[in-house]
Chains A and B, each alone.
Chain A
Amino acid sequence: ETGVTQTPRHLVMGMTNKKSLKCEQHLGHNAMYWYKQSAKKPLELMFVYSLEERVENNSVPSRFSPECPNSSHLFLHLHTLQPEDSALYLCASSQALNAETQYFGPGTRLLVL
């Protein structure tokens, strides 16, 4: 248990659906991250938030929309996804933004049909 929780753990959605992934950290951290992990590929950084402000949007398609309402919660809103978006989506948090150890949640396994 890393102190970072994610829901749902598994999600199957059609290409026309809208769904949201939720991440919550119980560590009092100020920075939160979304990563995508595809099979046999390195984790890819998607978004970074520090003190609820987005500091990084790593060329992610607009069909992925992040939201950080407070420093403990992070959402990833999904709409009109493609089958190639099927992957494990990992949330992480760190105490601060610079070169700090990041702690990961268990991820949401997403399948887009």
Chain B
Amino acid sequence: DAKTTQPNSMESNEEEPVHLPCNHSTISGTDYIHWYRQLPSQGPEYVIHGLTSNVNNRMASLAIAEDRKSSTLILHRATLRDAAVYYCILRGGTSYGKLTFGQGTILTVHP
């Protein structure tokens, strides 16, 4: 599986935007970029995913570089409930959807 590289931790203030980067220089043409997050004492939850174009949903936005070797998860207005570990994952193009989690980025949100 192609690997991703994320900063170990980031900090933000409440109500401010947060940009979480992810590098995936060995991404293949059929790999989808998925983001999941894990709140304290909970299972991971899906945030957003994309292939080539930028994506928006109610939780976040995903900006994908033109060469697809990096992406950025954008939380437009961080809240205290967004404090979590954020995982950037490449999912192969098979129908089974296997995910390989890395260490992720620990996001701390300050009031």
Are A and B associated in one complex? no
